[in-house]
């Protein structure tokens, strides 16, 4: 994927772009390639990256965005029916997640927050496994090393520091590797939201990343609402502008434009892999639904705002483009719909079938090495449980 050489002038153009970044209250420049009307614009740096995306890849983007939206609907329904304890919807953020996820390579390691179902799909995580956490049968659900996609983290922003440390590990691996190693260079993506940007750990992670020039891309999905608190309460300056204070590039990208998101993330990951240090991407997007199924957006925001964002829908605009350019026909869209329904059916049936673990599994994984207190408490539990069994035997 892509050349590892940045196009000439890229750094200068970006430096110029960040230099004229907005002061508080001023509008910030935003990278956009595919407009809400479905027409493709240009950008001095990122059009070259967009050109790498062939029609087949565009169809994959569309398919994945439609799939994950359908999955989101199904999971929301499952929650409403009492099959999931909670659901965290992503509708509206498909382009931000599918675009950035596809820009990563298999050797890159992803630290999600808890809403990156689209990135999980791209990284081949079985979506049934992803539901285990929300079903209450696991605090994780998948093996993070299989697809280099970390477990969800519910404590806001904690994972941004893990991402930087992991990236520092990658730097050390490269130094330990033999000179003839053919391992591809790797980077890390840390996802977080506009609400999490207020957490101290985001600040510390950016300080560490800058200090050690760590190969990490901070990917902030600014979906405008931290549950009921708007972005204006989190920050007085555009979030992308904060990067300048740490000394690395910050880019605001139209988070509903999958082509621009992909281009910008690909640039940022190459930047990181090549040892040029961290990048902050602010994907300017919108959470169309609730923060989770536990809240009610009608209590804290105007429906007009939601309607205005629906006009910028990431799927609609790519569909318009694909149709206008003759890159996808009716049969393609029918197939996408059918695939989505198939996925929904799979998710519904597997959710019902998710196995409830034995609490003994929890005893087994508190510590990596033998621990006498665990052994003692497990022995007590076994004896206690056996007491019920012998009662039953006696009753029989």
Partner 1 sequence: MATMTIAKAINEGLRASLTNNPKSLLMGEDIGHLGGVYRVTDGLIKEFGDERVVDTPLAESGIVGTAIGLALRGYSPVCEIQFDGFVYPAFNQITTQLAKIHARSLGKLTVPVVIRIPYGGGIGSIEHHSESPEALFAHTAGLRIISPSNAHDAYWMIQKAIECQDPVIFFEPKRRYWLKGEVDVENAGLSEDPFKAHVVREGTDATIVAYGPLVPVALAAANAAVEDGRSIEVIDLRSISPLDFDTVEASVKKTGRLIVAHEAPTFGGIGGEIAARISERAFLHLEAPVIRVGGFHMPYPVAKVEEDYLPDIDKILEALDRSLSY
For partner 1, give the closer residue by CB, 160 or 351.
160
286 labelled catalytic: no
Residues in the chain: 396
Which one of the listed residues 252, 262, 271, 291 is annotated catalytic?
Answer: 291
242 labelled catalytic: no
For partner 1, give the closer residue by CB, 88 or 263.
88
Q: How far is the CB of 93 from partner 1 (least distance, A)?
A: 24
For partner 1, give the closer residue by CB, 120 or 259.
120
Interhelix angle 314-324/94-103, nearest 10 degrees: 70
For partner 1, give the closer residue by CB, 301 or 371.
371
Q: How far is the CB of 138 from partner 1 (least distance, A)?
A: 7
Which one of the listed residues 300, 301, 352, 367 is annotated catalytic?
Answer: 300
For partner 1, give the closer residue by CB, 20 or 145.
145
Quote the DSSP letter at residue 377: H
The vertex-66 CA angle with 327 and 94, nearest 5°, equals 105
Sequence-distant (6+) residues with CB within 8 A of 321 are: 34, 38, 39, 40, 58, 327
What's the rounded Cα separation, in Å, for the pair 98 and 94? 6
Q: How far is the CB of 274 from partner 1 (least distance, A)?
A: 19
291 labelled catalytic: yes
What's the rounded Cα separation, in Å, for the pair 22 and 19? 9
Burial group, residue 40, by CB count within 10 angstroms (0-12, 13-18, 19+): middle
Q: What beta strand segments (E) does 150-214 contain?
A: 188-193
Q: How far is the CB of 169 from partner 1 (least distance, A)?
A: 3
Helix (H, G, I), strand (E, B) or coil at 254: strand
CB 126 within 8 A of CB 144: no
Per CB under 8 A, residues contacting partner 1 are 109, 138-140, 143-145, 150-151, 153, 155, 158, 160-170, 172-173, 175-176, 200-201, 204-205, 207-208, 211, 361-362, 364-369, 371-373
Q: How far is the CB of 50 from partner 1 (least distance, A)?
A: 32
Which one of the listed residues 70, 242, 287, 317 is annotated catalytic?
Answer: 287
Q: What amino acid positions are annotated as catalytic residues?
A: 287, 291, 300
């Amino acid at each position: 994927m892509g050349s590892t050489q940045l196009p000439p002038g890229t750094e200068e153009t970006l430096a110029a772009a960040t230099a004229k970044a907005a002061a508080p209250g001023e509008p910030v420049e935003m990278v956009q390639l595919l407009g809400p009307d479905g027409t493709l614009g240009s950008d001095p740096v990122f059009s070259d990256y967009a050109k790498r995306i062939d029609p087949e890849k565009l169809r994959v983007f569309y398919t994945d965005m439609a799939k994950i939206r359908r999955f989101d609907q199904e999971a929301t329904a499952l929650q409403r029916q009492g099959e999931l304890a909670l659901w965290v919807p992503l509708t509206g953020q498909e382009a931000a997640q599918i675009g950035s996820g596809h820009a990563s390579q298999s050797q890159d390691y992803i630290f999600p927050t808890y809403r990156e179902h689209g990135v999980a799909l791209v990284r081949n995580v079985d979506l049934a496994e992803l539901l285990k956490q929300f079903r209450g049968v696991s605090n994780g659900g998948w093996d993070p090393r299989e697809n280099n996609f970390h477990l969800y983290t519910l404590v806001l922003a904690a994972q941004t520091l893990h991402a930087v440390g992991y990236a520092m590990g990658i730097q050390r691996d490269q130094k330990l590797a033999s000179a003839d190693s053919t391992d591809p260079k790797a980077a890390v993506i840390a996802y977080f939201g506009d609400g999490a940007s207020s957490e101290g750990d985001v600040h510390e992670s950016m300080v560490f990343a800058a200090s050690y020039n760590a190969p990490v891309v901070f990917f902030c999905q600014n979906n405008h609402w931290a549950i009921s608190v708007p972005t204006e309460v989190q920050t007085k300056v555009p979030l992308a502008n904060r990067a300048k204070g740490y000394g690395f590039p910050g880019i605001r990208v139209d988070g509903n434009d999958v082509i621009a998101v992909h281009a910008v993330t690909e640039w940022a990951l190459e930047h990181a892999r090549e040892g040029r240090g961290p990048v902050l991407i602010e994907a300017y997007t919108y959470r169309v639904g609730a923060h989770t199924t536990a809240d009610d957006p009608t209590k804290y925001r105007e429906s007009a705002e939601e309607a205005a964002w629906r006009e910028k829908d990431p799927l609609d605009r790519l569909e318009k483009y694909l149709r206008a350019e003759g890159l996808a026909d009716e049969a393609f869209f029918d197939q996408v719909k059918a695939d989505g329904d198939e996925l929904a059916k799979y998710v519904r049936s597997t959710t019902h079938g998710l196995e409830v673990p034995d609490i003994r599994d929890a005893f087994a994984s508190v510590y990596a090495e033998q621990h006498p207190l665990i052994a003692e408490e497990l022995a007590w539990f076994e004896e206690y449980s056996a007491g019920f069994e012998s009662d039953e035997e006696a009753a029989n």
